[in-house]
Amino acid sequence: MAKSALVTGASRGIGRETSISLARKGHRVIAVARSEDQLKALQQQYSQHISYITADLTEDSDLINLKERLSQKNTELDILINNAGALINKPFQKLTTSEWQFLFNANVMTVVNTVKTVLPIMNKNSHIVNISSMGGFQGSSKFTGLTAYSVTKGAVSILTECLATELADLNVSVNALCLGSVDTKMFDQAFPGFEADVQAGEMGTYIADFALNDAAFFNGKVLPVALSDPS
């Protein structure tokens, strides 16, 4: 049976590839991101399965619009994949307060805002998958310049555990995938010149399969998905 999924950060990289993988499997996808041109191109390529909504998930007005658009579509969701995020590569001592606030909004509040917005239309036995990072996984290697990014992704991991408890009575499973090196523009920004272990398409397929199938086996889990640490 076809499922309905909403994917944030869907205009490029892992979010785009996850949306494509879900569409190719015959599922309905609502792709959300700030870049309308890229979303429109994605929708045109997979018009039978992908629609899109342009939104900045840190902006109250865009969240209201997202809620209204979903209501107009009479949408019911089985899957939410929180992939939207940002990265700043800068040493700790040079990070400004505004940069910390920017990353917290981009990486943590986007998840909070999106879950609050779509929760009323999520079906029973639905699955929320938060895309975190090995930088936010306890005990993993940490790297100079990525402190703020890693801290915010660690917050996503803890948020995942909390949401699994908060939403248990609604029969909504919540898990986080802490990704290692994947060939994306964000990874190039974090590790210039380093060759990633996994292509974005491969990771998108993995995330799609996990979102579709693994709510029956995991809830409140923060799972590493990595072959190695960059070094």
Contact by Cβ (8 Å): 203, 210: no
Contact by Cβ (8 Å): 145, 230: no
Q: Between helices 13-24 and 36-45, what is the axis angle to 10°? A: 20
138: helix, strand or coil: coil
Which residues on neighbouring strands pair with residue 28, listed in sequence order? 4
Residue 110 to residue 115: CA distance in whole angstroms: 8
Question: 128 exposed, middle or buried (CB, 10 Å; 0-12, 13-18, 19+)?
Answer: buried
The full DSSP string for 144-201 is TT-HHHHHHHHHHHHHHHHHHHHTGGGTEEEEEEEE--EESHHHHHHSTTPPPSEEHH
Catalytic residue among 46, 52, 149, 206: 149
Q: What are phi and psi of 55, to 5 degrees?
A: -160, 140
Which residues on neighbouring strands pair with residue 176, listed in sequence order? 130, 222
- 52 an active-site residue? no
User: Alpha carbon of 30 to those of 46, 56, 101, 149: distances in Å?
Assistant: 11, 15, 28, 26
**Catalytic center residues:** 149
